[in-house]
Amino acid sequence: MATGQKLMRAIRVFEFGGPEVLKLQSDIAVPIPKDHQVLIKVHACGVNPVETYIRSGTYSRKPLLPYTPGSDVAGVIEAVGDNVSTFKKGDRVFTTSTISGGYAEFALAADDSVYTLPEKLDFEQGAAIGIPYFTAYRALLHSARVKAGESVLVHGASGGVGLAACQIARAYGLKVLGTAGTEEGQNIVLQNGAHEVFNHRELNYIDKIKKSVGEKGIDVIIEMLANVNLSNDLNLLSYGGRVIVVGSRGPIEINPRDTMAKESSIIGVALYSSTKEEFRQFAAALQAGMEIGWLRPVIGSQYSLEKVAQAHENIIHSSGARGKMILLLE
């Protein structure tokens, strides 16, 4: 290795598999930013469920091995490559994707996937914006095309995407219903934009939602666990209602007839199908949310790099999300 090459700690994955394939290494070369790239000193990195699917090798996108997971980092610009005019060393930033991986002390990112982090948000909050808020915004405004005055049910509202969806929906003038699986989760949902919250562990919670919304039904459902909830969702919808599938962990049997009389739709959403122009549009709306104050990420459990395998285990198997899971690198 060249002398003077800076080294860093980073998580590396050499084979697809369970959480145990996440290996902490301390001799990884710090990347050097090229044209239109920036190097970020990472203070915090968001942990998203999709990173566990990618790591297990079951996801549609398979990175070349070995790789470092993580797309949502927040930190300070350490260096900039050629032709970068938007950022300079020392700027506080967050990302929606990285080139070299976010579970590391330094991360390389393309300058068009990096955004200024306002002073009023700390690095943990900055690391909670990327996938959750951009996905929630795409689901509500782009996929569901919500209008002020419509009703939305965020099915699984106490995690990163769910709380983002509640905050965005409330800011855009919707009637917001949420579900969570614990009392703590329900309280967090109510504090972050929901008008009403239901416990999805109660056997009769669907009846309670039906009673609350009455004959009309719900205009939009943002669905985090479609393999469990999709059939119920179709019965809750209004005429012309739409279910937006943000997450699913397996198959489910539904009756297509449930979509016919209501002329309802089931629409999938994938953040990385967004064009660069759409990312710019989402970023402008979310930046306004940060300035006005309705965009305020709720931080849940925090882990060091050493505990990343535990983080991956817990994000899938722990009972009841409460805010956004973060890796701390400070």
Angle, helices 183-191/160-171, rounded to nearest 10 degrees: 30
Helices (H) and strands (E) in the chain, counts: 9, 15
188 with 158: CB under 8 angstroms? Answer: yes
Assess if residue 239 is contained within a domain.
yes
Residue 319, pLDDT above cutoff 80: no
Residues 164 and 260 reside in one and the same domain:
yes
Assess if residue 102 is contained within a domain.
yes
Residues pairing with 245 in the sheet: 223, 268
Residue 4, pLDDT above cutoff 80: no
Residues 188 and 237 reside in one and the same domain:
yes
User: Which structure tokens are listed for 213?
Assistant: 């919304």
Count: domains in the chain: 2
193: CATH: 3.40.50.720
Assess if residue 277 is contained within a domain.
no
What pLDDT band is residue 1 in, cutting at 50, 70 and 90? very low
Residues 46 and 124 reside in one and the same domain:
yes
Assess if residue 229 is contained within a domain.
yes
Residues 144 and 92 reside in one and the same domain:
no
pTM of the entire predicted model: 0.95
Residues 11 and 79 reside in one and the same domain:
yes
Q: Tens digits of per-residue pLDDT, 43-86?
A: 999 999 999 999 999 988 899 999 999 999 999 999 999 999 99
What is the sign of the dihedral through the CA atoms of 327, 97, 40 and 64? positive
Q: Tens digits of per-residue pLDDT, 111-153?
A: 999 999 999 999 999 999 999 999 999 999 999 999 999 999 9
- Phi-psi bin for 145: left (phi > 0), alpha (psi -120 to 50), beta? left
Residues 47 and 97 reside in one and the same domain:
yes
Place of tokens 């882990």: 303
Among 272, 289, 318, residue at a domain's last position: 272
Assess if residue 286 is contained within a domain.
no
User: Which structure tokens are listed for 87?
Assistant: 């950022």
Assess if residue 281 is contained within a domain.
no
Among 272, 288, 316, residue at a domain's last position: 272
Q: Which stretches of 31-80 are DSSP H helices?
A: 49-56
What pLDDT band is residue 3 in, cutting at 50, 70 and 90? low
Residues 159 and 268 reside in one and the same domain:
yes
118: CATH: 3.90.180.10
Structural domain containing residue 93: 7-128+297-328
What pLDDT band is residue 5 in, cutting at 50, 70 and 90? confident
294 with 170: CB under 8 angstroms? Answer: yes
Residue 21, pLDDT above cutoff 70: yes
Q: Which stretches of 138-225 are DSSP H helices?
A: 160-171, 183-191, 205-213
Assess if residue 283 is contained within a domain.
no
Residues 110 and 142 reside in one and the same domain:
no
Residue 14, pLDDT above cutoff 50: yes
The pLDDT, as a whole number, for residue 60 is 87
Residues 186 and 221 reside in one and the same domain:
yes
10 with 27: CB under 8 angstroms? Answer: no
Residues 138 and 265 reside in one and the same domain:
yes
AA identity, residue 226:
A
Residues 66 and 165 reside in one and the same domain:
no
Place of tokens 């994000």: 315
Mean pLDDT, range 174-183, rounded to an integer: 97
Residues 54 and 158 reside in one and the same domain:
no
166 with 186: CB under 8 angstroms? Answer: no
Of 92-96, 120-124, 247-251, 283-287, the poorest mean pLDDT is in: 247-251
d(CA 62, CA 299): 28
Assess if residue 150 is contained within a domain.
yes
